[in-house]
Chain A
C-alpha cells in the first residue's frame, strides 16, 4: 500500500492510495470514503442494487462488532470474508466499531488481523497533550496508516475538536493515509479534509435513509446560472421548512434531520412527481418520483429503504467526486462556500 499525493493545497491532500488488493493493482482516490456495510452487506442492498449505484468506493468498511460473532464460521469457511459476504472483488477495511452504534468510550480493545495492513489508532480524548503523544508514538510504528478516533461530538465543541485535529495531523507523516471515524456529514467532511484527513466512513447517507429522508444538497460548485436560480429557490424553501421541523426519532438513529436532506414522509410530497433530485443519475431518480417514495414510506414498504439508500449513496459518492474535482481545479473554496450556505 502506498499513498501517492498529486497535490496539497492549504492542507488538503489530493491523490491515490495504490498497490492495494491481492494482486496489488487496485487504487483508492483520496479524499474519499468507504462503503458502509452492516454484517458485510450495504444496508438494504443486494449486489444487483448495489451495482446500480455509480462511483461505489473501491473499499468497503466491515465492522468487527458485526463479524466477531461469526468468526468461527469464517475460520471454517477458509476462503476469506470478502467471498463470504459476496464481495470477492472489493477491497476491505475492518473497523472495530460500527459508527452508527458505537461502543461507549473506555471499552475499546485491539485485535490483530493477519495479512492485512494495520492502521494505527490515534486516541487521547480532548486533551491536547495526550493527542500529541498518541500521534507521535503511533507514527513511530510500522503502520500502514492512521485512524483518527474520538473526534466526533456535538457542534458546540466543534472548533476545539478541529483545532485538536490540526495539531494531530501535523504530527503524522505525510506519506501515509489518514482515516477518521464517526465523521460523515458533508460540512464536517470538508473541515476535516482541510486539516489533512484523507478517508471517511459513509454512514451518513445510511442515517438519512433510516429517517425516511433523501440527500438533496448541491455540490455543483460550477452550475449554469439559470439552474442555480432554480435550485436556490427550491433550497431556500426547504431550508426554511427545516428550521420549523422538530427532531425526528427513528429506530437506531436518533439523529436530527439536517438541512442537507428532505423528509419524504411530509404530506407535500404526496403528489410531487419530480425525482428526488433533478438531474441525479441514480436508479431511484431515473425511475421513480417523490410521490412514489412518499407512498412507500407511508405504507411501510421495504422498497422505500432500498430506493432511498441507492439515491443517498449515489448522491454522497457524487459529493466526494466533486471534492476531488474541486481540488484538482483549485475550486475547493467555492465548494466549501456552497456547502456552508446549505448547512443549518
Chain B
C-alpha cells in the first residue's frame, strides 16, 4: 500500500454507493451502486438464482425484466459444478452468461438450513455433502477462495450463523467469531479491486450483542480515522492494516428466520442506526412486500429472498393485495390478467384462466410465466419505492401501499405500524 498523504485515502475501501435522495421523515434512501458489471439503483430487490440459473427463466428474460443484480450460492456452486470448472468458464458470469451483477452468499446460511449436515468450529464449518457423503470444510479462506473463482461483484464474508430462535452463549460466540472470520476473509481476499467483500453484522435478537458487533466493527474502522497518517512510526503499518479491514458494504444477517416480527424490526432499526450512512445496507433473506417497504423505511438498501421465485413454482402470483393461488377453482374462468397494472410479459398476454389450466397440466411453462411475473412484481415495487423517495413522497407511498395491501392503512400489522412509527411514518 502506498504511503498515505491525506486522510481521505485512509478510507481504502471503495465507495460504491452514491446517495441520490433521502427521506426527510424516515431513514429511507435512494441511491446507486457502482459495481463492476454496471450501476444498480437502490433500494433493490435481488432475485436468487442459487445454482447459476434463475430457475426456469433465461438470462435474456431476466435482463428484459430490468434485473441488474442477482444471487448465486457459494455452498451449492462449490459442490456442483465446483470452482475450478467455473473459473475455466470465465467465472460465474461466463458460466451462466449473465452480463450484469452477481452477489454470492458465503455458504454460511446453509449452516442453519442444513444444520444436520454441518458442524461448526473455529476453523470453519464442516459439511457432509448430501450428494456423495463426502466431508468438506468451509472455512473463511475456502469461502473467499471459491467466491474469488466465481468472480461475483459482491462477495459475502463467511459468518457463524445461528438460527434467530437460538438463545444463550452460542449467540455471543457466533457474533465474536464472525468478526474474527471477517478478518480472515479480508486477509484471504485476492481480488479486492474486482470484488466487493461485505461484512455481516450478527448478534441474533440480542440488542446488546448486536450493538457490540456493530461497535467492534466500527471501532476498527474509526480507529483508522483518528490516526495521524503522517506519523512515521510502526503505528503507520498498524493503521494501514486497520484500513484494510474497511469494507465497501454491510449486511444485516441472522434475521429472516423464525423470529417474531417485533424482534426482527427492532434489530434492523438498531443496525441501521449505527451503520455508516454512505455505505449500502443489505438485509439478507427479506422479500415479502410489506417487509421490504418497512425495511426501506428503516434504512436498508438491498434485499434478497427465494420467496417470490419459489412461491411462483407453487402456482402463487404476487399482487398488490397479496397473492393469487392460481391453481384454485375460483380462477378457472377468470379472464383477467394477474394484475392489469403489471407490465410484465405474462400479464400482457395471459389470463388467470389460462394460467390456471396450464398449472394443472405437466407443462413447466406455467411455472415460468409465474416466475417472470413475480420477479417483475418485486422489481416494479422497488422501482415505485425508489421513485417515491426521489420525489419526496415516500411516507404517502407507504400509506398507499399499506392501504392496498391490508384494505386500510390502520389494518396494517402491529409490528409494521410500530416500526414505521419509530422512523416518523404514521399510517392513520
Contacts and interface: CB of A to CB of B under 8 A. Distances in A.
Contact of B58 (A38, A70, A252, A283): A283
Contact of A73 (B52, B333, B346, B372): B333
Nearest to A300: B51
A289 B86 CA distance: 12
Contacts of B345: 46-48
Interface in A297-318: 298-299, 301-303, 305-307
B362 interface: yes
A40 B61 contact: no
Contact of A40 (B59, B354, B364): B354
Interface stretch (B89-97, B181-189, B268-276, B413-421): B89-97
Contacts of B54: 303
A94 interface: no
8 contacts: A38-B362, A70-B357, A73-B332, A271-B85, A291-B85, A295-B52, A299-B76, A307-B58
B81 A46 contact: no
A296 B97 CA distance: 13
A25 to B, nearest CB: 23
A296 to B, nearest CB: 6
For the complex of A and B, 10 pairs with smallest distance between CB atoms: A302-B56, A39-B361, A38-B363, A303-B53, A41-B365, A86-B349, A295-B81, A299-B51, A301-B53, A287-B97
A302 B333 contact: no
Contacts of A40: 354, 357-358
Given A291-B89, A292-B96, A77 B335 contact: yes
B96 A43 contact: no
B413 to A, nearest CB: 34
B89 A273 contact: yes
Given A86-B349, A289-B89, 5 more contacts: A39-B363, A41-B363, A49-B61, A70-B357, A298-B80
A301 B55 CA distance: 6
Given A38-B362, A273-B88, A292-B95, A306 B354 contact: no
Given A73-B357, A292-B95, A43 B365 contact: yes
Contacts of B357: 39-40, 70, 73
Contacts of B293: none
B245 to A, nearest CB: 36
A48 B61 contact: yes
Given A270-B81, A303-B57, A41 B358 contact: yes
Contacts of A271: 85, 88
Among B52, B53, B59, chain A packs the most CB atoms within 10 A around the CB of B53
B353 interface: yes
Interface residues of A, number: 41
Contact of A302 (B89, B362, B367, B369): B367
B365 A288 contact: no
Given A270-B85, A295-B81, A301-B53, A84 B353 contact: yes
A47 B89 CA distance: 30
A45 to B, nearest CB: 6
A232 B380 CA distance: 51
Contacts of A306: 56-58, 364, 368
B34 to A, nearest CB: 27
Contact of B363 (A44, A292, A295): A44
A76 B368 contact: no
A273 B81 CA distance: 13
Interface in A169-190: none
A189 B192 CA distance: 58
Contacts of B372: 46, 48
Interface of B: 51-61, 64, 76, 80-81, 85, 88-89, 95-97, 332-333, 335, 345-346, 349-351, 353-354, 357-358, 361-369, 372
A154 B54 CA distance: 40
B89 A303 contact: no
B354 A86 contact: yes
A301 B51 contact: yes
A342 interface: no
A38 B361 contact: yes
A42 interface: yes
A270 B88 CA distance: 11
Nearest to A44: B364
Contacts of A292: 52, 89, 95-97
Contacts of A43: 363-365
Contact of A303 (B56, B80, B81, B333): B56
Interface string A46-80: 11110010000000000000100010010011000
A158 interface: no
A36 to B, nearest CB: 11
A246 to B, nearest CB: 23
A134 B61 CA distance: 49
A343 to B, nearest CB: 30
Nearest to A75: B333
Contacts of B353: 73, 77, 84
Nearest to A291: B89
Contacts of A66: 361
Nearest to B81: A295
Contacts of B80: 295, 298-299
Interface in A278-297: 283, 287-289, 291-292, 295-296
Nearest to A287: B97
A287 B59 contact: yes
A85 interface: yes
Contact of A84 (B55, B89, B97, B351): B351
Interface in A10-49: 38-49
Interface string A303-344: 101110000000000000000000000000000000000000
Contact of B365 (A42, A289, A301, A303): A42
B345 to A, nearest CB: 5
Contacts of B95: 291-292, 295
A243 to B, nearest CB: 28
Contacts of B364: 43-44, 302, 305-306
